[in-house]
Each structure stands twice: as structure tokens, then as C-alpha cells.
């Protein structure tokens, strides 16, 4: 039997009502959360930690935060101008809650906090550390320096409460320590989310798409504000984390390429999702194949080659898969196809690859070889990978997008170890922002002309000239850092 048709205006009204009631529910839970936050702050300030009132207040914040998380699937408390937002819904201010609002707002501001992200699995102990830090940190270290507080939180074992500075500070502090710390947190958080996602799927748990979305958004925000720090982090590799860091790196490179070809922020959010999730199908490939120490058999290779289409199926299995952009699913399917369609999966009919898929393929092509070199112990120089990608058309990368990647990384990518004409040895820190000087990056000197190690050595711009107009330093050749006892990943940021 067919359902009776509901007239459009009524449908719209019921949609508006549903949205309003969802917002109302966040406001209600958000207010409870804020009151609990305020009470915990106050009682921690007034009484010793063992005091009953403090303990009750900590129970209160722990419970209300968990409840909010259960209902919403996420918890972000953000400060913007004179308002507080919970998960993007502005909390309404009235006379009854004015004191609570303004106290929380002032405390967060004094510590230089623009947003607090609470992750699933937060422990009561983490709330205690965070709130105690807010109290002790605010009066003494008032100002916008968030990195000190972030460090203290990390030392205190807080991993599920993440802090971000207000957007205006992120811009103002471009290359500062604070900006680096924020970039690092965004990176680590994305690695953690990816790990949870992939490991969760292996254990039969369905992950939430909303969390992935939020992690990707912070990566995009960081690429737009603080690209150098974030790209530097792609060099740092840990063996265990490799599959997860690879996904995050591909996300970062994809978004950076997307930015260079003029995509909008919203498009970059979708592209970032495509980058982070491109290899999601690997969660369905047996671990003994993925982690094999010996070359794979032909049958095993075939199994690995199913990951693009397995990825699409796995993405549909995510909780809230409606949040995953369609183009991210397409990129999972197409990222190994190559521009001439000679890759895999094989296509029956000619097709036009999506630009997202081509971007993800380039990002993936750059990040994969170093990852392999790590497991197999064969050093692949980043500049050689780039050259191969540019010159070998059989690899099937879109040349314009490879160019965009070179613009991002410079001819000598971040982390390349170089010998200079001054006989100093340096590690590339960042590409020269002047595109006509891509062959003259900014380099950190790590070994002096007489062979002495310096740590931390100075940053030098190879484009700078002396009074006679000659370059002060030039690259003679690229070398393997290990020959000189230089671990390049230590110098990436």
C-alpha cells in the first residue's frame, strides 16, 4: 500500500520542528553540562580534592558529559565572541545562568582556549586533571599561550580532552610553538580516530562517521592556517602506527593539493574525508597479508587488490554513513585505477575519474613509498619519489596534480637531507613560499662545516643572498641522512 503524500509545506514544518527539538535537546543537555563544569571548577578551587563536594562535582561533570556524548555522538564546547556553543548550537543566556556562563567563559579565555573537544572514553580522572589545570594555570599564565597547558595535560595523561585556541589566535601565531602544538594535537587526534576506526571494524564494532568528520575538519582547518607544521608531521613515523599515520598523511597531502587548485573549504572537508578513508577497505583484508614480512603470493596480491571495492562496502557499514560524502566513497573505489584506467579495479567501460580520486591517488603515491621503505629497510629519498611521479607517466598520476604536490613540498620535500656548498649538512624544513624559488627551501642546519652536530641548529633560507647578490648557501646534493647519523624525521617540525 502506498503512503499518503504529505504536502510540501507540512513536510517542511515537521522538518523544522524536528530540527528545533534536536537543538532544544542540545541546549538542555548543554546547560546541564555547563552547570556541572562550573560547579566542579568552583568546588575544586575552594576545597581539597578529597572533599565530598569536590568528588560529587567530579561525578556530576563526568556523568553529564557522558550523557551528552551518548545522545549526540560528540561533545565540543566552543567559545566565540561572547557566546558558548555546544556542538555548534549556541547556548542561550538568561539572568539565571549568567554567572555560570560568564565564569566558564572567562576561565576558558584566560587559558587561551577557543574550544574543548571531549572524545569518547574520557575518564573521570581526566576531568579532574583538566579542571585542576584550568584553575592553577589561569591566574599565573594568563594569555594566549595554549601550548603550555596542552603539555601539562599530556603529562597528566589526558588524552580524551583536547584543546584548541580561538581561530584568531591560530592565524596570528602562524609558526609559533603554540601553532605547532595545536597542529600536533590535530594530527595525533586524527591518528587515534583512524586507529579506533580500523581496529574497531576488525573487532566487529561499527564506528561513528561523525567523529571522523570532526577529525578531518580539524586537519583542514590546520592546513588552511598552519600548513608547514602539519606537513612536517607527515615525516614522523612509528612502525606500529604506520597504517594509521598513512591515512592521516594522505588526508593532509590531499587537502593541501586541493587548497592549491582552489577548492573551497567545504569541498576540502569532503576531500579530507576521501583522503582519510581511501584505504578503509584494508580493514577487511586479513592482517597476516597486510603485515607480511615476505613478498606476497599472486593470490594474496589479488586479495589486497580488492580493498578499493571492499572500502565502499565497509563505508556503508559505518554508523551514520550518510555523513560520508559520496565522493569519498568514489575515491576509495578509484584511487588505484590510474588516469589511463590500467590500474585496479578493472573497468568494463571507459570512465572519467573524479578529481577527488586523482588527488587522493597522488597523495597516496607520494606517501606510500616511504612507508614501504620503513618496513623493508630500503631508504627511498623523497625527492626521488617526486621525480618518478613526475616523469614516469606509466604510474598514471595526473601531471597537474603532481605539480601541485611539488609546489607544496618543493623540489626537495620536507625531511630531505642535503649537503650544502658551505659543507654544512641540513634537513629541509619547509618549501620556499616563493614559487619561483622551489629549489631553494628553508633548511635546518644539523651538521656544521667542520663536522660537529648542532641541535637545534639554525633555520636558513637558501634563497637569501649576501651583499654581493650571491646566494649564501646552495644545495650540492641530496644524501641519505643515515650516512651522517642524521635521523631526518627528528627534524621534521
User: What minimum distance in Å lies between the beta carbon of 247 and Fe ion?
Assistant: 10
Pick the closer one to Fe ion by CB: 221 or 279. Answer: 279
Read off the DSSP letter of residue 440: S
Residue whose C-alpha cell is 592549491: 260
Beta carbon of residue 357, minimum distance to Fe ion (angstroms, whole number): 11
Angle at 99 between CA 151 and CA 88, to 5 degrees: 60
Provide the minimum distance between the beta carbon of 176 and Fe ion in the complex, in angstroms, as a whole number.
36
Nearer to Fe ion, 145 or 279 (CB): 279
Nearer to Fe ion, 194 or 430 (CB): 194
Helix, strand, coil percentages (3-state) for the chain, rounded to 5, are 60, 10, 30
Q: Tell me the closest approach of the beta carbon of residue 291 to Fe ion, in angstroms.
A: 16
Q: Applying CB under 5 A, does 367 fall inside the site for Fe ion?
A: no
The alpha carbon of 98 is separated from its chain's Cα centroid by a whole number of angstroms, namely 35
CB of 165 to Fe ion, least distance (A): 34
Q: Tell the smallest beta-carbon distance from residue 359 to Fe ion (Å).
A: 14
CA distance 205 to 193: 14
Among positions 26-45, residues that touch Fe ion (CB under 5 A) are none
Nearest to 169 by CA among 196, 205, 143: 143
Residues paired with residue 478 on neighbouring β-strands, in sequence order: 418
Which runs of consecutive H residues, i.e. helices, occur in 234-263? Answer: 242-260
Q: Which is nearer to Fe ion, 147 or 247 (CB)?
A: 247
Neighbours of 341 (CB within 10 A): 17
Q: How far is the CB of 314 from Fe ion (least distance, A)?
A: 13
Query: Could you tell me how many residues of this chain bind Fe ion (CB under 5 A)?
Result: 1
Q: What is the DSSP string of 43-68?
A: HHHHS-TTSHHHHHHHHHHHHHHHHH
Closest residue to Fe ion in the complex (CB): 279
Alpha carbon distance 194, 250 (integer Å): 12
Mark 146-185 as b/e (b = at least 16 C-beta within 10 Å).
bbbbbebbeeeebbbbbbbbbeebbeebeebebbbbbbbb
CA distance 367 to 308: 17
Whether residue 345 is preceded by a cis peptide bond, meaning omega within 30 degrees of 0, is yes
Helix (H) or strand (E) holding 239: none
The nearer residue to Fe ion, 148 or 365, going by C-beta atoms, is: 365
For the purposes of burial, counting CB atoms within 10 Å of the CB of 450, is it exposed (0-12), middle (13-18) or buried (19 or more)?
A: exposed
Of residues 129 and 330, the one with the C-beta less far from Fe ion: 330
Q: How far apart are CA 489 and CA 406, in angstroms?
A: 20
Whichever of 196 and 279 has its CB closer to Fe ion, that residue is 279
Task: For the CB of residue 335, give the shortest distance to Fe ion in the complex, in Å.
Answer: 6
What CA–CA distance (Å, rounded) separates 481 from 22? 56
Q: How far is the CB of 489 from Fe ion (least distance, A)?
A: 23
Positions in 270-299 near Fe ion (CB under 5 A): 279
Which CB atom, from 117 or from 279, has the smaller least distance to Fe ion?
Answer: 279
Nearer to Fe ion, 279 or 424 (CB): 279
What CA–CA distance (Å, rounded) separates 169 from 369?
Answer: 36
User: Between 81 and 346, whose beta carbon lies closer to Fe ion?
Assistant: 346
For residues 417 and 423, give the distance between their C-alpha atoms in angstroms, rounded to a whole number. 13
Query: What CA–CA distance (Å, rounded) separates 384 from 411?
Result: 10
Give the nearest distance from C-beta 282 to Fe ion in angstroms: 7
Q: Cβ 299 to Fe ion, closest distance in Å?
A: 18
Cell for 265? 573549504
Q: Which is nearer to Fe ion, 27 or 305 (CB)?
A: 305
Residue 279 or 383 having the CB closest to Fe ion = 279
Site for Fe ion in 433-492 (CB under 5 A): none
Q: What b/e sequence results for 283-294 when a residue is b if at least 16 CB atoms lie within 10 Å of its CB, and e otherwise? A: bbbeeeeeeeee
We find the least distance from the C-beta atom of residue 307 to Fe ion, in angstroms, to be 6
Give the strands of the sheet with 75-80, arranged side by side: 89-90, 83-86, 75-80, 115-118, 161-164
Positions in the binding site for Fe ion (CB under 5 A) = 279
Amino acid at each position: 500500500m502506498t503512503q499518503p503524500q504529505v504536502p510540501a509545506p507540512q513536510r517542511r514544518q515537521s522538518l523544522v520542528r524536528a530540527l528545533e527539538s534536536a537543538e532544544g535537546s542540545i541546549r538542555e543537555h548543554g546547560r546541564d553540562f555547563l552547570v556541572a563544569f562550573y560547579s566542579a571548577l568552583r568546588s575544586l578551587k575552594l576545597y581539597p580534592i578529597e572533599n565530598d563536594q569536590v568528588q560529587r562535582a567530579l561525578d556530576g561533570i563526568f556523568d553529564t558529559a557522558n550523557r551528552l556524548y551518548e545522545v549526540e555522538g560528540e561533545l565540543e564546547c566552543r567559545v566565540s565572541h561572547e557566546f558558548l556553543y555546544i556542538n555548534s548550537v549556541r547556548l542561550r543566556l538568561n539572568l539565571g545562568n549568567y554567572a555560570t556562563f560568564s565564569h566558564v567563559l572567562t576561565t576558558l579565555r584566560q587559558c587561551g582556549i577557543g574550544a574543548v573537544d571531549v572524545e569518547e572514553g574520557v575518564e573521570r580522572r581526566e576531568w579532574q586533571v583538566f579542571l585542576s589545570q584550568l584553575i592553577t594555570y589561569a591566574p599565573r599564565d594568563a594569555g594566549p599561550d595554549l601550548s603550555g597547558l596542552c603539555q601539562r595535560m599530556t603529562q597528566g595523561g589526558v588524552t580524551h580532552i583536547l584543546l584548541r585556541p580561538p581561530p584568531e589566535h591560530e592565524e596570528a601565531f602562524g609558526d609559533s610553538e603554540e601553532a605547532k602544538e595545536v597542529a600536533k594535537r590535530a594530527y595525533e587526534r586524527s591518528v587515534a580516530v583512524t586507529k579506533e576506526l580500523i581496529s574497531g571494524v576488525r573487532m566487529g564494532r561499527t564506528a561513528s562517521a561523525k567523529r571522523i568528520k570532526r577529525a578531518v575538519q580539524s586537519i583542514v582547518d590546520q592546513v588552511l592556517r598552519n600548513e608547514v607544521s602539519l606537513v612536517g608531521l607527515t615525516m614522523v613515523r612509528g612502525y606500529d602506527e604506520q597504517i594509521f599515520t598513512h591515512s592521516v598523511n594522505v588526508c593532509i597531502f590531499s587537502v593541501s593539493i586541493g587548497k592549491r587548485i582552489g577548492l573551497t573549504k567545504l569541498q576540502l572537508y569532503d576531500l579530507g574525508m576521501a583522503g582519510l578513508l581511501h584505504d578503509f577497505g584494508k580493514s577487511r583484508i586479513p592482517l597476516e597479508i597486510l603485515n607480511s614480512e615476505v613478498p606476497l603470493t599472486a593470490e594474496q596480491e589479488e586479495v589486497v587488490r580488492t580493498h578499493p571495492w571492499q572500502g565502499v562496502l565497509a563505508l556503508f557499514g559505518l554508523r551514520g554513513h550518510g555523513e560520508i560524502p559520496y565522493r569519498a566513497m568514489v575515491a576509495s573505489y578509484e584511487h588505484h585505477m590510474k588516469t589511463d584506467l590500467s590500474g585496479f579495479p578493472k573497468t568494463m567501460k571507459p570512465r572519467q575519474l573524479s578529481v577527488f580520486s586523482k588527488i587522493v591517488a597522488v597523495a597516496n603515491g607520494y606517501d606510500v613509498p616511504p612507508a614501504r621503505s620503513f618496513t623493508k629497510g630500503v631508504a627511498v629519498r623523497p625527492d626521488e619519489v617526486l621525480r618518478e611521479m613526475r616523469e614516469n607517466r606509466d604510474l598514471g598520476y595526473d601531471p597537474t596534480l603532481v605539480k601541485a604536490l611539488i609546489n607544496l613540498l618543493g623540489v626537495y620535500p620536507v625531511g630531505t637531507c642535503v649537503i650544502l656548498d658551505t659543507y654544512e649538512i641540513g634537513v629541509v624544513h619547509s618549501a620556499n613560499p616563493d614559487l619561483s624559488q622551489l629549489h631553494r627551501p628553508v633548511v635546518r642546519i644539523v651538521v656544521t662545516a667542520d663536522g660537529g652536530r648542532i641541535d637545534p641548529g639554525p633555520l636558513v633560507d637558501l634563497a637569501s643572498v649576501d651583499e654581493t647578490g650571491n646566494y649564501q648557501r646552495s644545495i650540492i646534493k641530496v644524501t641519505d641522512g643515515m650516512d651522517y647519523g642524521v635521523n631526518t624525521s627528528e627534524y621534521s617540525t
